[in-house]
Amino acid sequence: MRISGSTALVTGANRGLGARLVAELLARDAATVYVGARDPESVAENIRRDPRVRVLALDVTDPASVSAAVEATRDVNLLINNAGVLGFGDVLTGDLSLFERDLQINYFGVLRVTRELLPSLRASGARGAAVVNVLTLISLAPMTTIAGYCASKAAAHSMTQALRASVRGEGIEVIGAYPGGIDTDMLAGVDMDKADPAEVAARILTGVETGQEIIWPDDASAAAGKVYLNDPVQLETMLTS
């Protein structure tokens, strides 16, 4: 679908990849960008100053917050479910409260926002509509040190597939983006190769504009994605050995 002229809502858009997605949407001439943030004051001043930007208080775990935010939007035809958290811990000893928190935000949060916004997406008509879920390569095979996070993202990956089937024929594209490591606060202190979030944001939106349902938005995920599509067990072995 076309970004130019679109009305977008990005969750978790005050920092990290979400903030870069907002900047990229504006650079590609989106008509209106709703910037969802738990704390609206945390949205950068230069973004707030853009007349196309509307900042929304939005906590994806809070049904009242989601309803109020959606009520305040009009004509959204591009939803980007970006908000996310990552807790460390392996499958045998990890803190279950962190596993639950990741599931609440990364899975139920995505599901809640998407359900609430569906009427707006369905009403998009000739403009077309899309839901972009920011998942991760490790939705598809886990890293053992962040097993709860991977499970929550695997749930969101499954939800993405189920949603795609459920709205088929309604003019709503359902897109999964599967990045590798990105250089944001989420992985601060973790020593690994990380992609530039601005580049990841640009590649996600190019994927949206070129009609891709599955987006590998950085070189590492593009390489690993090829492995996964050819042999899912090989990716599992690569990530867990």
Summarize as ranges the residues that interact with ligand NAP (CB under 6 A): 11-12, 14-18, 38-39, 42, 58-61, 82-85, 105, 109, 134, 136, 179, 181-182, 184-187
CB of 15 to ligand NAP, least distance (A): 5
Least Å distance between CB 177 and ligand NAP?
A: 8
CA–CA separation, 184 vs 158, rounded Å? 25
* Closest distance of CB 30 from ligand NAP, Å: 19
Cβ pair 138, 224 in contact under 8 A: no
Pick between residue 124 and residue 138 the one whose CB is nearest to ligand NAP: 138
Task: Give 122 or 199: the residue with its C-beta nearer to ligand NAP.
Answer: 199
Nearer to ligand NAP, 184 or 209 (CB): 184
CB nearer ligand NAP, residue 172 or residue 182 = 182
Pick between residue 18 and residue 124 the one whose CB is nearest to ligand NAP: 18
The number of residues in the chain equals: 241
C-alpha span between 137 and 102 (Å, rounded):
16
Structure tokens of 37? 């943030």
Shortest-Cβ-distance residue relative to ligand NAP: 16
Beta strands in 69-168 (DSSP E): 78-81, 129-134
- The neighbouring-strand residues paired with 146 are 89
Give least dist CB 5 to ligand NAP, A.
25
Rounded Cα gap, residues 193 and 59, in angstroms = 30
CB 147 within 8 A of CB 91: yes
Element (H, E) at 67: helix 63-71
Q: How far is the CB of 125 from ligand NAP (least distance, A)?
A: 29
